[in-house]
Amino acid sequence: MVKQLEGPILPFLRLDATVALPKFRQVQDQLRMAILKGHLRAGTRLPASRILAEELGLSRQTLVRVLDNLKAEGYLEARQGAGTFVSAALPRQPAKPLSRPTRHDVADRAPPRLSRIGDLSCRMSADIGQMEDRPFLPNRPALDRFPFAVWRKCWNAVTRGGKAVAMGYGDVAGELVLRQRIAEYLALHRRDPCDPDQIVITPGGHAAFTLSALALADPGDGIWFEDPGPVTTSNLFRTLGLRLCPADVDADGMDVEAAMARYPDAHLAFVMPSRHHPLGITLSLPRRLALLEWARASDAWIIEDDYDSEFRYDGAPLPSMRSIDSDDRVIYAGSFSKALYPGIRVGFLVLPPQLVGTFRTLSGLIHRSVPVETQLALAEFIGGGHFASHLRRMRGLYAERREAFMLAGRDALAGLARIDCSESGLNALAWLEGGRQDQASHRAVLDAGLQCYPLSDYTIATPQPAALILGYAGVPADRMRPLLFRLADAIARSQGRIGRSGG
Amino acid sequence: MVKQLEGPILPFLRLDATVALPKFRQVQDQLRMAILKGHLRAGTRLPASRILAEELGLSRQTLVRVLDNLKAEGYLEARQGAGTFVSAALPRQPAKPLSRPTRHDVADRAPPRLSRIGDLSCRMSADIGQMEDRPFLPNRPALDRFPFAVWRKCWNAVTRGGKAVAMGYGDVAGELVLRQRIAEYLALHRRDPCDPDQIVITPGGHAAFTLSALALADPGDGIWFEDPGPVTTSNLFRTLGLRLCPADVDADGMDVEAAMARYPDAHLAFVMPSRHHPLGITLSLPRRLALLEWARASDAWIIEDDYDSEFRYDGAPLPSMRSIDSDDRVIYAGSFSKALYPGIRVGFLVLPPQLVGTFRTLSGLIHRSVPVETQLALAEFIGGGHFASHLRRMRGLYAERREAFMLAGRDALAGLARIDCSESGLNALAWLEGGRQDQASHRAVLDAGLQCYPLSDYTIATPQPAALILGYAGVPADRMRPLLFRLADAIARSQGRIGRSGG
């Protein structure tokens, strides 16, 4: 039954003297491939090693090493006194076409078999944050003013000596010391004390939303979502199979009464009460109370995205919804993306006590937390007072930039757009005169070397008047006027008007 | 219709001179609470500010500040010429019982309304990594030998000046430079070239599994899972609603033929071919080929957890399954938890090309990536050759520790347990003589100030013979003997035998 290889073995191999890979590695890799492809069949006896070495141009010693490696991998086997064989245990026939498909013939194939979530995500975009960093990029903090030297000092202080505590798996909910510092910060600056055990640290804000959605809603369950609103967040909920229930936004924020009438059976409400993005509206107190009452009465949950609450220019930030939530219905979500910088990728949740156990476990299972050293450095940064003083400085800086933006914007954009700087956040709106052209204006702005988002990109269901979202926090005050005139010029061109110059 | 507050306002407030909070903050917080609780009803007129200031013991100026803040928050409103009122827009009746529940009466309530995933996770444990760091803790690398000074140098090099590139949101799939370094490492050391675009960086290994499960399997879909196997991983899949299909493990690894017979319709196979945890077995080549053929024929996916492939003590690591996957069925998962240290929380996937788009988007939506500076530091660490040389050093060190463990273990545990050090990884098994007592022995080992995991904790469905999983990689060779005798003593006690001493 033993099949002796007829003729030389070399025809099955393609050794190449011009590649960098050593010859023995080429021989080893190609012998393996010849077996996998069925050129050398299971049970086939190889020629004697002396002959084989000669044929392949290897020393006998090197050949033995190659054969030993392939034996260890299970491709070859030695039979006492009889020589070396292709393992008899391998399939007789190669399973399938022989050539490995190239990485570029994907388009020719049938679409891969995915889950419902996989299918949905194919149709979504997660492109936020991929935008080029140019003037007026929305949601961009003043990165050059971040005290990176202090941040590095904190990181170096907590990693000195590589303490084992920073190297282990750490707490599934995040390091206690960071949770303590966050709780202290919230108590002092958001007037909202909580127990550090109610906090779960997540790898960024989106991970916090994912955790909440998975724990609280099944596919098909409804979630109220402000329309317009951040589409990557609505895409996340839609991808997880939730039924998106767009809720209109007026001057008082989310229209809670209308949402109650249209979607009374929703399980979740996602809301940005401190500062709606992108409209910049604060949810009014009666609406907050109505929302809390709806959640209580219908056994629903509120995810409070405390968006941009740190940056308010006309007095103290408004209290969070969580702080007036007497029925433990609010899951409070925060992140350090804008207060520090987006690349830090740290978010957190403050949970009602009855959800703490579930969220801790689920977070530990699905993603654990962020690098322990980043957590400890952040705890040091907050504990040393650097976080609070950075925020204080940025509030001053952004107020100044906002003022400069408004003043110059009114001049530059007169007749083209109405500037709308809410009293908080990092962004403004420019409501375009004369119709729904924000996509064209957006393209023109990009062509002019600037950045913005068209409001229509934030539309969930109800079309909005045309507007551009502009970030002013990253632009120095003294550059505001010329850049805004460049912006105005681009908008004018996009609307078929004559470009204007000035500044 | 205007309702004038009758009598003084103070009865509704409980000012406390002994607390640190300034009096004006107490007044402000308590006025807000009195309104929320319905003690001060919507539409009620407050006394004149002069009288109120006097009554509350505040200066007129401070009182005006309090009232202004509460107006900004929407609790109060001024009516021209008529004074200050509790906002008429607030609900007439307080929504619900007045006192905020304490954080500790959770147990008295009905269980919270959760999703199916939330419900499931309540019954799961994510406790891995919470174990105290004591000798023989499984999966523990030699943290004291990690070149932390070099790691800090890399981190400091990439963060110098806080370059904006490290501070932005970054690529949803992880920084290109890190994906390039990982691809180079895999090509060189795992003989498995891939395009950096096939790589997605995740916040740790579990996040990589979560991403794969969500993208590829719906609730109810089957997943082959080696039995015994890591229970936190099986808990993750069960929590996401997958149907766990326990596959027996024999000396050749996962019994693929039996799994095909029992669960032919599964969508996924999760497998640790390089080194099964905790049994230390390598999946044989015929089994690998059979598994690949099953996936091809049944349009299923294989998640290859390339567990501990870095640490093999008898020659080069075996090639990955991905490297012989000619039908693009394998999702390859790696992490740096054991090669570097667990606290780093960086994992990654290498994807078949037809899945890249889906995984990129889904990863961007559900958790994005890890801190950009950690990614850049890791790229620098790999690119500078520190990763490869650290692994080389650790392979030598662990081989030495493994040898010391085997030698001393045979003496110390003779008659109590059979030591089983596979040829790779960081852990050994001690198969206990005489029955299924690993839980009792485990407790005794903890009582002796040591660590281990009982094999029964890894049981998915089929009970295993009693064994303890012991980590030797974190224990210096010269401490091995006395610690193993202490271990033996604990095991002997737990089995009702006389303690032994020695070493």
pLDDT value of position A27: 85
Which residues of B are less than 8 Å from A129 in CB distance? Answer: 168-170, 172, 368
Nearest to B486 by CA among B453, B458, B452: B452
Q: How far apart are CA A282 and CA A344, in angstroms?
A: 27
pLDDT value of position A503: 42
pLDDT value of position B333: 97
Inter-chain touch B203–A198, beta carbons under 8 Å: no
Sheet holding A3-4, edge to edge: A3-4, A44-45, A83-86, A76-79
When scoring A154, A256, A260, A367 by the number of chain B Cβ atoms within 10 A, the one with the most, hence best to mutate, is A367
Tokens 């940064």 sit on residue: A381
* SS3 assignment for B116-152: HHHHHHHCCCCCCCCCCCCCCCCCCCCHHHCCHHHHH
Q: Which of A69, A98, A218 is closest, CB to CB, to B116?
A: A218
pLDDT value of position B128: 55
pLDDT value of position A394: 95
User: Within a 13 Å sphere around the CA of B17, how many CA atoms are in the beta-carbon half?
Assistant: 2
Tokens 């009554």 sit on residue: B55
- Over residues B186-206, the pLDDT tens digits come to 987 787 889 999 999 999 999
Tokens 């005290």 sit on residue: A147
Inter-chain touch A361–B122, beta carbons under 8 Å: yes
Inter-chain touch B343–A169, beta carbons under 8 Å: yes
Q: Which two structure tokens, joined as six digits, stand for B56?
A: 């509350």
Which residues of A are less than 8 Å from B217 in CB distance? Answer: 115
Inter-chain touch B206–A365, beta carbons under 8 Å: yes
Q: How far apart are CA A135 and CA A129, in angstroms?
A: 14
CATH fold of A3-86 reads Arc Repressor Mutant, subunit A (1.10.10)
Inter-chain touch A151–B171, beta carbons under 8 Å: no
Q: Which of B74, B203, B284 is closest, CB to CB, to A368?
A: B203
Burial of A221 (0-12, 13-18, 19+ CB in 10 A): buried
Note the Cα B104 to chain centre separation in Å.
27
User: Looking at beta carbons, which pairs linking B129-132 to residues 24 or more positions away fall under 8 Å?
Assistant: B129/A168, B129/A169, B129/A170, B129/A172, B129/A368, B129/B342, B130/A169, B130/A171, B130/A172, B131/B451, B132/B451
Tokens 């500062």 sit on residue: A275
Element housing B467 (H / E): strand B467-471
pLDDT value of position A319: 85
Q: How far apart are CA A163 and CA A168, in angstroms?
A: 9
- In chain A, helix, strand, coil percent, each to 5? 45, 15, 40
Supply the DSSP string of B265-292, one letter for each residue: T-SEEEE--SS-TTT-PPPPHHHHHHHH
Tokens 């050293």 sit on residue: A373
Pick the CATH number of A144-388 from 3.40.640.10, 3.20.20.150, 3.30.830.10, 1.10.760.10: 3.40.640.10
Q: Which of B90, B299, B361 is closest, CB to CB, to A125?
A: B361
Inter-chain touch A109–B235, beta carbons under 8 Å: no
Inter-chain touch B239–A284, beta carbons under 8 Å: no
Nearest CA in chain A to B30: A324
Q: How far is CA A339 from CA A146, A308, A380, B89, in A?
A: 9, 8, 16, 33
Q: How far apart are CA B474 and CA B142, in angstroms?
A: 4
Q: Which of A217, A318, A343 is closest, CB to CB, to B168?
A: A343
Which residues of B are less than 8 Å from A316 in CB distance? Answer: 69
pLDDT value of position A423: 86
Q: Which of A117, A326, A341 is closest, CB to CB, to B167?
A: A341
Helix (H, G, I), strand (E, B) or coil at B364: helix
Within this chain, domains B146-388 and B394-494 share the same CATH topology:
no
Q: Which two structure tokens, joined as six digits, stand for A426?
A: 């990092």
Query: From the CA of B494, how many Å to the nearest CA of chain A?
Result: 29
Query: From the CA of B253, how many Å to the nearest CA of chain A?
Result: 13
Q: How far is CA B352 from CA A267, B197, B325, in A?
A: 37, 10, 10
Q: How far apart are CA B452 and CA B470, in angstroms?
A: 5
Inter-chain touch A143–B122, beta carbons under 8 Å: no
Length of chain B: 503
Nearest CA in chain A to B32: A324
- Over residues A286-311, the pLDDT tens digits come to 999 999 999 999 999 999 999 888 88
- Over residues B290-321, the pLDDT tens digits come to 999 999 999 999 999 998 888 888 776 778 99
pLDDT-derived band at A108, boundaries 50, 70, 90: low
Which residues of A are less than 8 Å from B112 in CB distance? Answer: 352, 354-355, 358
Helix (H, G, I), strand (E, B) or coil at A201: strand
Q: Which of A69, A152, A316 is closest, CB to CB, to B156?
A: A152
Inter-chain touch A167–B125, beta carbons under 8 Å: no
Query: From the CA of A415, how many Å to the nearest CA of chain B?
Result: 32
pLDDT value of position B93: 60
For chain A, give the mean pLDDT.
88
More confident residue, A12 or A446: A446
- End-to-end alpha-carbon separation of chain A, Å? 91
Nearest to A395 by CA among A469, A310, A273: A310
Burial of A400 (0-12, 13-18, 19+ CB in 10 A): middle
Q: How far apart are CA B270 and CA B431, in angstroms?
A: 25
Type of residue numbered A40: L
Query: From the CA of A414, how many Å to the nearest CA of chain B?
Result: 30
In this predicted structure, the answer to whether residue A130 has a pLDDT above a threshold of 80 is no
Q: Are B448 and B478 in contact (CB under 8 A)?
A: no
Query: From the CA of B254, how many Å to the nearest CA of chain A?
Result: 16
Which DSSP category does B424 fall into?
A: B
Query: From the CA of B324, how many Å to the nearest CA of chain A?
Result: 8
| Residue extents of the structural domains in chain A | 3-86, 144-388, 395-494
Inter-chain touch A215–B32, beta carbons under 8 Å: no
Inter-chain touch A36–B326, beta carbons under 8 Å: yes
Helix (H, G, I), strand (E, B) or coil at B253: strand
In this predicted structure, the answer to whether residue A414 has a pLDDT above a threshold of 50 is yes
pLDDT-derived band at A217, boundaries 50, 70, 90: very high
In this predicted structure, the answer to whether residue A493 has a pLDDT above a threshold of 70 is yes
Inter-chain touch A286–B352, beta carbons under 8 Å: no
When scoring A67, A140, A201, A285 by the number of chain B Cβ atoms within 10 A, the one with the most, hence best to mutate, is A285
The top-scoring range by mean pLDDT among A114-118, A168-172, A422-426, B66-70 is A114-118
Q: Per DSSP, what are the bridge partners of residue B79? A: B83
- Over residues A446-490, the pLDDT tens digits come to 999 999 999 999 999 999 899 999 999 999 999 999 999 999 999
Inter-chain touch B130–A369, beta carbons under 8 Å: no
Inter-chain touch B327–A96, beta carbons under 8 Å: yes
Length of chain A: 503
Q: Which two structure tokens, joined as six digits, stand for B15?
A: 């000012």
In this predicted structure, the answer to whether residue A268 has a pLDDT above a threshold of 80 is yes
Inter-chain touch A148–B162, beta carbons under 8 Å: yes
Cβ atoms within 10 Å of B449's Cβ, excluding its own: 12
Quote the ipTM score.
Answer: 0.88
- Name the architecture of domain B146-388: 3-Layer(aba) Sandwich (3.40)
The parts of chain B modelled with pLDDT lower than 50 are 1, 95-104, 502-503
Q: Which two structure tokens, joined as six digits, stand for A493?
A: 């061109």
Q: How far apart are CA B165 and CA A184, in angstroms?
A: 31
- In chain B, helix, strand, coil percent, each to 5? 45, 15, 40
Query: From the CA of B377, how many Å to the nearest CA of chain A?
Result: 12
Nearest CA in chain A to B345: A371
Type of residue numbered B307: Y
Which residues of A are less than 8 Å from B168 in CB distance? Answer: 129, 133, 143, 341-343
Inter-chain touch A73–B221, beta carbons under 8 Å: no
Q: Are B63 and B53 in contact (CB under 8 A)?
A: yes
Q: Which two structure tokens, joined as six digits, stand for B142?
A: 């030699």
- Name the architecture of domain A395-494: Alpha-Beta Complex (3.90)
Q: How far apart are CA A486 and CA A449, in angstroms?
A: 9
**Which residues contact residue B77 at a Cβ distance below 8 angstroms, ignoring those fewer than 6 apart?**
B71, B84, B85, B86, B87, B88
Helices B205-216/B231-239 angle, 10° precision:
40
Inter-chain touch A115–B214, beta carbons under 8 Å: yes
Inter-chain touch B371–A370, beta carbons under 8 Å: yes
Inter-chain touch B293–A344, beta carbons under 8 Å: no
Q: Are A441 and A450 in contact (CB under 8 A)?
A: no
Pick the CATH number of B394-494 from 3.90.1150.10, 3.30.70.20, 3.40.462.40, 2.40.160.20: 3.90.1150.10
When scoring B240, B368, B369 by the number of chain A Cβ atoms within 10 A, the one with the most, hence best to mutate, is B368
